[in-house]
Chains A and B, each alone.
Chain A
Amino acid sequence: MARKIGIYVCHCGSNIAGTIDVEEVARWAGATIDGVAVARDYKFMCSSLGQQMIEEDIRKKGLTGVVVAACSPHLHEKTFRRACEHAELNPYLCQMVNLREHCSWVCADKAAGTAKAKALVYAAAERVKQQVPLEPMEVQVNPATLVVGGGIAGLQATLELADAGYHVYLVEREPSIGGHMAQFDKTFPTLDCSACILTPKMSEAGQHANVTLLTYSELEEVSGSVGNFKVKVRKKARYVDETICTGCGICIEKCPRRVVDNGFEAGLGQRKAIYTPFPQAVPRIPVIDTAACIWFDRGKCRACEKLCPTNAIAFDQEDEIVELQVGNIVLATGWKLFDCHKLPQYGYGRLPNVYTNMEFERLCNAAGPTNGKIVLRDGKTEPKSVAVIHCVGSRDVRHNESCSAVCCMAALKFGHLVLEKTKAEVYSFYIDMRTYHKGYEEFFQRLLKEGMHFVRGKVAEVTDAARTPGEEGKLIVQVEDTLVGQQQRIAVDMVVLMGALEPQADAKELGLKCGISCSMQGWYTERHPKLDPVATMTDGVFVAGACQGPKDIPASVVQGAAAAARISGMIAKGHVMIEPIVASIQEDKCSGCKICNTMCPYNAIEFDEPAGVSRVISSMCKGCGTCVAACPAGAISGAHFNNAQIMAEIRGILWDAVPSGNGQAPGVPAAALNP
């Protein structure tokens, strides 16, 4: 078939035309390049008139390929491909040249810029002659979704998907869903009781027909790709049969073994060896902590088993691996608290009345170890003064560079609770007051009115080394009041450290299982920090909530909902289209060396043992080209980026290195020009 290429050079207003003689480029292309049927220049190719121009030319002149020399493909590749499609030309027979970022924006000299533009256009024209029609692949989407993490973000995503009629498997590592929000007392700025607004969602998730709860479980393995993931979930042994247990709680009541609860109660309270983390737990099925249980430790007791009215205790239970098939995955695994021992100058762990923020939440919580009374470690003395220290482990290059986003508001909340529940004075020691969302600044003003004291200074140390009689028996906060410029010592009874929010310890490992990565600090990497904060670079895997970066409850809810919406849209459509820019292996050339398998960053190549060859899983392939380059036998080619196409582009760039007329360059072997 005769080649008929259409070349379109865009002015982009003065963006390109300002530094490149676009009319000359178009004229020259028409006159010089072989096989060009039409060459035009136009003010704005992306406009409807510009697109129409292309469509008309395709229809009227029977174009076999289109070159649009304009801006970045990131902006308008889709636009021009669509135009081609409308005119029934395969969209992969369209090639864009970036005359803006690659040419006009980097060339100061008009002559040099124009010469470069000519070479780039020639390259694209040569390339297009080698391009072949390609069809995107359609992949069916399994309507079930896996949500990992039953905190507020995960719950929101789960409920929205379930309400839309799609099945959700909600995997949660702890015995109950709820996450950190279940531990809080009140939430800022409304001062809603946290459990009161959370438990309805927990209940709903627990009872929803479209939700399968897998609590006390962890994600083991993921394989497959968007629309078709196969996952393995490990259900850890609870030693309680969930099909029989009624949640009556007798086992917990009668268990003789009490231990410090370092999980839900943040080390402040106790629980039994068989336990549910908190009264409103969903599901209300207890778990036996084998490290604490007398039976597992010394082979005695089993009181729970004896007293269980339904015989639900099962000491011989084992971990179970559950295999699921889902179309999409949402990671909503949240955060963990900074270990305040790492800043010894604050005395955490050494001075009894220094608390972390999570410990203080439990202190204030009416269902907590002190029934909501703010008292010192002795369990009875009410403090007369409380110091709240911001930025413990945050904004610190040695620990967490980032700001934890919620601590300023939480500190104000704590101040309010102290003022409401006690007669104590309360101080905030801050570097900056970050109260940026709706109602937050107003909340700060409220605390100013309520009489909280504010000292701008990061506390240098908390000590019990008294210097004056007035300091005896107190905790002394030593700080520079930076607004005054003087060092001060303030004696208090209780200190609350606003510990930083950090990524979970195994976040990176979990991310890798799902094929996504973390930032340097350990938060999951989103597809685009501004415009796409819930999708990741791996299609079908989404992130929501604090695991993507410290954030408050409203932001977590929004992200959970956003992930659910994206997935709902995909499920409603029923399929996803995958770009056909994928690698393929010529099996007769494959020797089975498996170099490509290990090199593929997307785990998209599998090895067929019986056949002894590797195969690309097209739906997972991102077309990066690594395997193409790595294969020692040259058995792999990349669609839309094959050797012929790339060599043609090079030939085009070197158009004026080749004497005109015969298409051969002195010294350049013919074979290299015509593979």
Chain B
Amino acid sequence: MIDTAERAHSSSFLREVIRETPGGERIIHCLQCGSCGGSCPNGPDMQYTPRTLFAMINSNKRTEVLSSNTMWCCVSCYLCTTRCPQSIPITDIMYCLKRLAIREGLAKDSDAPALAKTFTGLLDRYGRSFELGLASRFYLFNKPLALLRMGPLGLSMFTRGRMSLVPKKIKGIEQLQAIIKKARQVGGAS
């Protein structure tokens, strides 16, 4: 599959996206129809619609793409993927762009990378998510004032028994951590 892209386009960024996304080779079939941009619930808030991003990827505009806020607006609703007439795995490409953007340190405009990092950090440590930990860490480091606004909600959740004060750690945390460590080793970039 990668061969076709190699011959057809000279964009190294395109080849990178194809490599890093399962099923990514479908992107070369993009008709630029705009179904994705038209479907996205957060489309109006994106700097560039997903379709525009594909045109930019084709044009090798790596920095512009990875600096955009588009993928951070993606909520994984999969409407674009479902409707794309060329079966391009658009949501998965958004995940790929998120990964690349974080790796390149180009994800600046959104709090989403920080949320992702905080969440996975807790998972790595406990094997489970921990809302209070997530909320406190995330808001404290990124938007402390918002934490105040969250107060009443937090309280009502707590009084209804919907928030735990302490994290839960799985028994096999070491097993999980060994798996994660291996994944980091093997996966390297991807």
Contacts and interface: CB of A to CB of B under 8 A. Distances in A.
- Quick check: do A and B touch in the complex, using CB within 8 A? yes
A487 B52 contact: no
Nearest to A394: B85
Interface string B33-53: 111111110011000110110
A482 B85 contact: no
A397 B85 contact: yes
Interface in B38-93: 38-40, 43-44, 48-49, 51-52, 79, 83, 85-87
Nearest to A343: B83
Contacts of B44: 486-487
Contact of B31 (A345, A395, A487): A395
B83 A345 contact: yes
Contact of A397 (B29, B38, B49, B79): B29
A479 B38 contact: yes
Given A397-B29, A398-B85, A482-B51, A458 B40 contact: no
Interface string B17-36: 00000000000010111111
Contacts of A397: 29, 85-87
B49 A480 contact: yes
B51 A396 contact: no
Interface in A461-479: 461, 478-479
Contacts of B49: 480, 482, 485-487
A482 B34 contact: yes
Between B31, B43, B85, the greatest number of chain A beta carbons within 10 A of the residue's beta carbon is seen for: B85
A185 B70 CA distance: 45
Interface in A341-393: 345, 391
Interface residues of A, number: 21
Nearest to B32: A482
A431 B49 CA distance: 16
Chain B interface main SS type: helix
A387 to B, nearest CB: 13
Contacts of A485: 37, 48-49, 52
B35 A460 contact: yes
B50 to A, nearest CB: 9
A460 B85 CA distance: 11
A478 B44 CA distance: 11
A460 B83 contact: yes
Contacts of A459: 35, 38
Contacts of B33: 391, 395, 431, 457-458, 482
Contact of B38 (A396, A398, A458): A458
A98 to B, nearest CB: 29
B1 to A, nearest CB: 15
B47 to A, nearest CB: 10
Q: Which one of A345, A391, A461, A480 has the greatest number of beta carbons of chain B within 10 Å? A: A480
A479 B35 CA distance: 7
A459 B38 CA distance: 7
22 contacts: A345-B83, A391-B33, A395-B33, A396-B86, A397-B87, A431-B31, A431-B32, A431-B33, A458-B38, A460-B36, A460-B83, A461-B38, A461-B83, A479-B34, A480-B43, A482-B32, A482-B33, A482-B37, A482-B51, A485-B52, A487-B44, A487-B49
Interface of B: 29, 31-40, 43-44, 48-49, 51-52, 79, 83, 85-87
